[in-house]
Structure formats: C-alpha cells, structure tokens
C-alpha cells in the first residue's frame, strides 16, 4: 500500500472517529441507536426464537390468554382460590405402559383386547407397546351390530376448567374378511362421572376410521369446546377419558364377516390456562411475542428500503435542479410541489388497493412519496454550495459539470442525505403501519399494523378484562422504533453540521 493511500485511509478513520465522538455527546442519539439495534436483533432472531411464521395459523394457547407473569399477582383465576391448569399432559398412562393403567370393557364374546409390540414411532416409552381393541364378526349376519370394546382411564382434576384443551391420539386400523371400510367407528369421550348420564352427551365426539393397506398410524386431534370443559373439568372431581370401537355392519347387508383391530398409542390431553408466555396470545391464540419479533422484520425492511429509494431519487433530482437551474430546476420543482400538496395517505390507499397488495408494492407506494422532501432540502443546499469560491475556482480551472457535482457539491450535501435517511425511516414505518391497519398490505404478512388491525376488529379493548397485551406492545414498538430513527437523525445532524456543534 502506498504511503498516500495509507494516509488517505488514516484520514477517513480519524474523521469517522471524530464524528463518533461528537455523536456520543448527544444523549438522544445514543438512546436512539440502542433502540434501533434492539429492533434489529429482534428481526434477526425471529426465525431462531420463533421458527414457525405467525402468518401460518398455529395456535399456541387460548384466545386472549393473558401474559404468564400476570399470574404471579393473580394465581387464583376466575375469582376463586383454585389455580389454572399448567400446560401439560394430564392422562396418567398415555403410552399404555402399565397393564392396569386402563380399564377394558368387553361388550360381547366377539370383543377382545391385548397389548402389542407394534409401537407408534413417536412415543417416549421404554416398553414400546400399544393397546389393541379387537372386534370379530363370524356370524354372517347383523346380530353383532353395535357391539363394541372400549378402554377408559380416570384421573382427578384439581384445577378450574382449562381455558383451552386439546385431545390427541394415534391410531391405526386393520380389517380382515369382507367387511366394508365404514364397518367400524371410533369414538372418544371425555366425561365427569358425577355429571354424566346416558351414553350420548355433549362431551362425545365421533370419528369414522378408514383402514389403510398396510395399516399406518394416523393422528386424531380436536379442540375441546367450553361446553365440554365446563361440564367435564370440575375442580376436585374425577374425569374419565374413554376410547371405544364399535362394529356397525351396514343396514341391509348381512353378508359381512371379518375382524377389525384398532391400535391406540400416545394419547394426550393438553390443557392450557388463562395465561400464556411473556406477552399472552392474540384473538386466535397465537403468541403475541412471536408476532412482535417477526413484525420487526417487516417494519425495518419496508422502512429502510423505501426510505433509501426515496432519498436516492430526491438526491439525484435535488442535485440536478440545484446545480443546473433554469428549465431543469423549474420542471423538477413543479413536479415536487405537486407530490407535496397531494394528500399522501388517500393516494397510498388507492394505489395499494389497485396494484394488488404485496411487499414490493408496499415499498413502491411508500417510496413514491418519500422523495419530494429530500429533493427540496438538497436543492436548497446545492444552491448555496455552487456559489462558493472553491466551486468557482474549479470552474475556472476547466472542471466539467459532472466532476464539479460529484467531487465538490455532493460531498458537502452528504450531511443532509444522512439526516434524511435517518429521519425518513420513521415516516416510512408509520406509513406501513397505517396501510397495514387499513388492510392494504398482504394478508399473510405479519406486521405491527396488522396486529393493531386484528385487535381493533376483534374488539380487544372491550374484552373483560381488556386484552391490552394485544394492542399496546405493537403500538409501543411502532412509536419506539420511529422515535429511535428520529433521535439518530437529530444526533447525526449535530455531529456533522458545524453550525450545530458545541463550542
């Protein structure tokens, strides 16, 4: 490296060091820098901390579950002294590890059961077994219509009814003989023995199981309704989980003989409390914190890209209008004035609706109105710079217009460019939030504006109690990130503008 180039790089380093030392003196600038770095970390860490994109509806908990830390001051839910259930599996023997874990009910001589070593791959058990319920019809008639074999397990429920519960179980079915596919039905039932009467109740669900050749495992799942939970899950009482298989030969077709076998494994009952995670859940049970982290990506991407495009266009037009003047200046400023006076938000709404909302369209619409301000400010600075003695001297020495603009004028307007970049991001973020709130961005795009829209549409504020954790965090994020960029722009202006430096 030549000595001249080394001194040039050293000079750049020293100047950057001097700018940073002046920047640090502005406390607002340091605060803004910390805020922006924090949101950048949120955007970068979102895929790692929350691998499932919240745009895909994956429920994490109940609707409008309060943040978990709120249970510290209110551990007793619903106005009594009984705590909410933890998120865990409540079935005592989900993998059929113990012969006496489940009670088997045979309804006829043709019904039987046994434990088999055919295990579901996903189970976490050392015995590698599953329970097999079996029905056989050898009579060649409909005498055994409705006969069944079932297994049930009972456990004590010490909590209030859960805010949400899932029931999962893995099954596979094999049929021999000439039985039709719909000759077997599988039921599961959750009931409270103290309240249960009769065979059919609101706590019963039915699945028709179709065999596969060879038999393969199939996951059944269902969300338990509040009616089921309020009837079956009562504090201090016993809850029974019952799974049974029933033979149903089709009416009018008596010529059916064969055996139906049902393997069951990995049965889970997941109950969820009225509290979930650091920031609770949304109106559809999604993790609010996951939405906040992924929303940071959208706000930063749109804010930075749209502002960069807008300032770049404004820089080019401002340099041309200010330096060349005349017709170029007149035409450029009249177009700029037109874009400044038109109502920005209504036109953005119209364009977003017409152009079929997408991420690229949103960036384009925001950038379309981001350049007039920088163009006017940069033009005014260029008008001042081009009249200075060093520019006149360069002209007298024979320097061309392109050389003068990029070698002498452009470096002296960089301060304004940096300030416009920093402060312009704030406006772009607010514009994106407004368009998202109005539903004019892609439907599957997770953003803070979309969160506010969902909270407004689903009346989060009128919930009892109000679901503040769904609309306050995105509003604060929008305000903080916008304020962070404004503070950075203010500090950059003070660090680079000699007239604003402290004496």
What would the two tokens of residue 430 be? 């607010």
In the prediction, which pLDDT does 257 show?
Answer: 72
DSSP state of 67: P
Q: Cα separations (Å) of 135 from 217, 243, 258, 260, 431?
A: 19, 14, 9, 5, 65
Distances (CA, A) of 3 to 6, 12, 15, 16, 17: 5, 14, 18, 20, 21
Burial of 289 (0-12, 13-18, 19+ CB in 10 A): buried
Q: What is the pLDDT of residue 127?
A: 58
- DSSP state, 211? -
Least Cα distance to 165 among 285, 253, 37, 51 occurs for: 285
What structural domains and CATH numbers belong to the chain?
19-60+281-500 (1.10.3720.10), 88-272 (2.60.120.260)
Q: Quick one: pLDDT at residue 254?
A: 54
Give the dihedral sign, CA 458/462/468/474.
positive
What are the CB-based long-range contacts (under 8 Å, 24+) for 35-40?
Answer: 35/480, 35/481, 35/483, 35/484, 35/487, 36/481, 36/484, 36/485, 36/488, 39/296, 39/299, 39/300, 39/477, 39/480, 39/481, 39/484, 40/296, 40/300
Identify the CA nearest to 287 among candidates 52, 39, 43: 52
- Residues in CB range of 503: below 8 A, 6 or more apart: none
Instruction: Choose among 357, 373, 363: nearest CA to 299.
Output: 363
- Whether residue 150 contacts residue 170, with contact meaning beta carbons closer than 8 Å, is answered with no
Query: How many whole angstroms separate alpha carbon 19 and alpha carbon 496?
Result: 7
Q: Both tokens of residue 167?
A: 């029931």
Mind listing the pLDDT tens digit of every residue in the chain (503 residues)? 555 554 445 455 666 677 778 878 888 889 999 999 999 999 999 999 998 888 877 777 788 888 888 877 665 444 455 666 776 778 888 888 777 788 887 766 677 888 887 666 554 545 568 888 887 776 655 445 566 788 888 888 877 777 777 777 788 877 777 666 555 566 666 666 555 444 434 344 455 555 555 666 776 666 666 666 777 777 777 887 777 776 655 554 556 677 878 888 888 887 777 888 889 888 888 899 999 999 999 999 999 999 999 999 999 998 888 888 888 888 999 999 898 888 888 889 888 888 887 888 899 999 999 999 899 998 888 888 887 777 778 777 777 777 788 777 888 888 888 888 888 899 999 999 999 998 888 888 899 999 999 988 888 888 777 889 999 999 999 999 999 999 998 888 887 766 655 54
């Amino acid at each position: 490296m030549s000595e001249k180039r080394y001194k040039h790089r050293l000079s750049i380093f020293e100047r950057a060091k001097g700018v940073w030392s002046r920047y640090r003196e502005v406390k607002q600038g340091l605060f803004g820098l910390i805020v922006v770095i924090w949101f950048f970390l949120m955007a970068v860490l979102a895929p790692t901390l929350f691998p499932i994109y919240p745009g895909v509806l994956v429920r994490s908990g109940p609707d409008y579950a309060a943040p978990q830390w709120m249970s510290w001051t209110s551990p007793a839910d619903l106005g009594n002294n009984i705590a909410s259930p933890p998120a865990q599996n409540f079935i005592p023997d989900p993998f059929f590890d113990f012969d006496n874990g489940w009670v088997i009910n045979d309804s006829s001589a043709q019904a039987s059961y046994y434990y088999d070593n055919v295990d579901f791959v996903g189970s976490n058990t050392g015995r590698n077994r599953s329970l097999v319920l079996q029905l056989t019809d050898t009579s060649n008639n409909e005498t055994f219509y409705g006969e069944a074999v079932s297994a049930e397990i009972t456990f004590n429920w010490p909590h209030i009814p859960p805010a949400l519960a899932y029931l999962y179980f893995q099954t596979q079915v094999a049929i021999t003989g000439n039985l039709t596919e719909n000759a077997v039905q599988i039921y599961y039932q959750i009931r409270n023995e103290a309240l249960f009467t009769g065979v059919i109740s609101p706590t019963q669900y039915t699945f028709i199981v179709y065999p596969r050749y060879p038999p393969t495992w199939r996951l059944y799942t269902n969300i338990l309704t509040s009616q089921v939970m309020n009837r079956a899950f009562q504090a201090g009482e016993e809850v029974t989980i019952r799974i049974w298989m029933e033979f149903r030969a089709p009416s009018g077709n008596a010529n059916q003989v064969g055996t139906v076998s049902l393997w069951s494994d990995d049965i889970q009952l997941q109950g969820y409390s009225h509290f979930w995670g650091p920031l609770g859940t949304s109106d559809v049970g999604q993790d609010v914190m996951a939405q906040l982290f992924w929303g940071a990506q959208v706000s930063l991407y749109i804010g930075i890209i749209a502002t960069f495009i807008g300032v770049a266009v404004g820089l080019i037009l401002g340099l041309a209008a200010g330096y060349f003047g005349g017709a170029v200046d007149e035409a450029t400023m009249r177009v700029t004035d037109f874009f400044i006076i038109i109502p920005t938000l209504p036109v953005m709404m119209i364009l977003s609706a017409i152009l079929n909302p997408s991420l690229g369209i949103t960036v384009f619409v925001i950038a379309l109105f981001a350049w007039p301000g920088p163009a006017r400010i940069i033009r005014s600075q260029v008008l001042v710079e081009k009249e200075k003695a060093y520019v006149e001297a360069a002209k007298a020495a024979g320097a061309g217009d392109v050389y003068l603009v990029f070698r002498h004028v452009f470096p002296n307007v960089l301060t304004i460019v940096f300030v416009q970049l920093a402060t312009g991001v704030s406006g772009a973020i607010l514009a994106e939030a407004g368009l998202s709130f109005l539903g004019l961005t892609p439907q599957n795009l997770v953003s803070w504006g979309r969160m506010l829209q969902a909270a407004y549409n689903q009346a989060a504020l009128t919930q009892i109690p109000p679901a503040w954790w769904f609309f306050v965090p995105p509003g604060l994020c929008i305000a903080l990130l916008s304020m962070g960029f404004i503070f950075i722009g203010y500090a950059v202006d003070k660090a680079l503008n000699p007239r604003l430096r402290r004496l």
